[in-house]
Structure 1
Amino acid sequence: MRRPVLTLLAIMLAGARLDAQPAAPPRTPPVFIDELTWMEIRDRLLAGTKTIIIGTAGQEQKGPHMVTGEHKYVLQHTTERIARTLGDALVAPIITYVPEGSWETPLRGHMAKAGTITLPEDRFIELLVHAAKSLRAGGFTTVILIGDSGGNQNGLKAAADQLNAAWKDTGGRALFIGDYYTKSSADIRTYLGSLGFPLETIGSHAGMVDTSELLFVNPSLVRRDRLAPNGGSPDSGVSGDPTKATAALGKALVQIKIDNALAQIRASRPTSGGF
């Protein structure tokens, strides 16, 4: 008779141990609309979330040590942080097809490297306008346009201008947040210079800036065994010294982008609540 009693006692004790486990923390609701159902998006709209962020990245070569989607992974981090800080914004899927040059020979710039995809400027602008109008039709009233690459900036501004002209007196508005890239690029150079890094070490593409940011947001996508000053060869596609990159630097550089974007958004929406 003792064995059934002991077995019952063991089961009760096991249940008590399970009951004593702390409850899992509640999952933070997603802000990317492709992680939400249409009804969840509708409910967020009804609750006052009327701003949508469209981020544009770039499918381009990033030297021998970084994946070609570097801009996308950085934007997934920064746009989520921006949306959560604003508190009334969601994020559209990152747009990775952007102007990168021409596929006509002779190939130049990023297009000379395998894996780069380009979109003509007019098609890029048209893509942005159609995406924004789609989201406006779904109930969003403010569309924020942010680009993580220099070649995106003119098209983003042109799209915002077109949208604002089309939406005049309708309650819709497009905001081109150029400070995310242009101001931040200057601020980042100043910051790194204050730490003693010369401009040739900082570089301008796939160097210590891009590499530091990716080391922070997704280090598994950096091929550490391929890190070399200027990519290790004249035709590497790298400007600068990615061997000086660190995740700690990346955290600071990404924060500069987020802070500049938030400041410009807030300045552009002075009457909005919650800021």
Structure 2
Amino acid sequence: MPRPRQRPRESPALVAFGRQMRRMRESKKVKQETIAHLTKVSAPQVSKIEAGKRRATRAFVEAVDDHLEAGGALINLWEDLNKDGHPVPIWFDWPQIEIDATMLICWQHSVIPGLAQTPEYALAIVHGNQEAANLRISRQAILSRDDERGPAIVLFLIEEQVLYHQVGTAETMKNQLEHLIEISTLPNVTVQVVLSRGDHDGNMGAFVLATMEDRSEVAYVETAIRSITTDDPADLSILARTLVDLRARAVTQDMSRELIRKVAEERWT
């Protein structure tokens, strides 16, 4: 099996934007800490933006452009890099967004979300690619991180049919559902099953909505062609409406645990 193509660690477009912002800031003798205070974004995050490791939101760019008296130059550059409401590159560094997020809402209609998978389930999903499975499992550290940010708050919304969709062996499925019940007892994790009744907007595709430290939102959306990352207000509005519908169809966490336990015992034992 060919090794998956590795994406570059940095986007030339993001690096170019960060360098330009830094040049403009330094020419005005403005410190990063001042930008952080002005935008209510932490100084390390401002540093990441200038290093091309994080994409700035439009609100951030507008505030910085105004403070630096850039006359719209920084905004124009940001717009050039965000044509059609999508970031450049289209895949933008979602793993870093996931790490930095304070809250994640994960919707899945076909498989157990990656942050809730067991090693055996993950290995089956990636067709035996151990390296890819290990990478997927390593991301779960955000559920129990003990740095100054604390663990991320995570809500898993899972379509009922996912509990019956076999991935790997029956034992893999049983262990996976038991693991799902176990992590649902964590104080920062909620697991709710969305009942498979009727049509709803969630059938269009899986997605994750991340809320960042500055309360901005970024979404990771799976499509039939590729996955995209976006913070476009129109996209976020659609996902917000979809989440309202999904939450209305979801049973409570206690009821979800009972349903998951019942499927594990009756279907996969």
Output the TM-score relative to the length of structure 1: 0.27
Output the TM-score relative to the length of structure 2: 0.27
More strand by share: 2
Tell which structure's C-alpha radius of gyration is larger: 1
